[in-house]
A = this chain, B = another copy of it.
């Protein structure tokens, strides 16, 4: 099995992106999965284009995109991407779309086709906090998740796809009182556990993982 593992470059004034730092440290083969890594620009449009090109070139069996969710407490496996861009801040090229469809011909949302409950379960079994998230936001992370799932939906070959958000690492919160963080080594272990679950589960496990709101 071949997995395309992507991560964004730093954005929002940060010097590093923990998603990118963690992806760099993921082993090239995890649970017999060949991991091909790709850095993606935090730019509307270009992010999707870059990953679509890599999908065409690498022909992966699954695509897992990683992004930073500074302020979240745990590794959150995204359930769904919605067909809208609504940027509170500018992306890395100054774009700030408001309430714009990502794909005019696309459905209102795509659900992840990765085994999200099994991925969360694998992370928790390591003793690390993880959960299913029901929103990837409306910035470039959601944009890319939607775009990748839209790209995949139009392929002849079956490819699974999804997204994981990771917290700040400790160095990012030294000057941010009361912001949670997770050690980089733990983020790496969580991502490798998630990759293992992707390899092990074609269909997801039946575990409660919802939220009231």
Q: In the complex, what residue of chain B is closest to A11 when comparing beta carbons? A: B212
B129 touches A181 (CB 8 A): yes
Complex CA distance for A129 and B171, rounded to whole angstroms: 7
Task: From B72, B165, B174, B213, give the contact of A127 (CB < 8 A).
Answer: B174
Q: Does A49 contact B (CB under 8 A)?
A: no
The interface residues of chain B lying within 8 Å CB-to-CB of A156 are none
Complex CA distance for A129 and B168, rounded to whole angstroms: 12
Q: In the complex, what residue of chain B is closest to A76 when comparing beta carbons? A: B213
A211 touches B137 (CB 8 A): yes
Taking each of A86, A139, A212, which has the highest tally of chain B beta carbons within 10 Å of its own beta carbon?
A: A212
The interface residues of chain B lying within 8 Å CB-to-CB of A204 are 99
The interface residues of chain B lying within 8 Å CB-to-CB of A73 are 173, 177-181
B180 touches A183 (CB 8 A): no
In the complex, which residues 151-191 of chain A have their Cβ closer than 8 Å to any Cβ of chain B?
Answer: 165, 170-171, 173-174, 176-183, 185-186
B80 touches A208 (CB 8 A): no
The interface residues of chain B lying within 8 Å CB-to-CB of A134 are 82, 135, 137-138
Name the 8 nearest CB pairs between A and B, nearest first. A86-B210, A109-B109, A183-B183, A127-B171, A138-B210, A135-B135, A137-B213, A69-B213
A-B contact pairs, 29 of them (CB 8 A): A67-B213, A69-B213, A70-B212, A71-B213, A72-B213, A74-B173, A79-B82, A80-B84, A84-B111, A86-B209, A86-B210, A98-B207, A98-B209, A99-B204, A107-B109, A109-B109, A127-B170, A127-B171, A133-B135, A133-B213, A137-B211, A138-B210, A138-B211, A142-B213, A165-B213, A180-B180, A183-B183, A183-B186, A185-B185
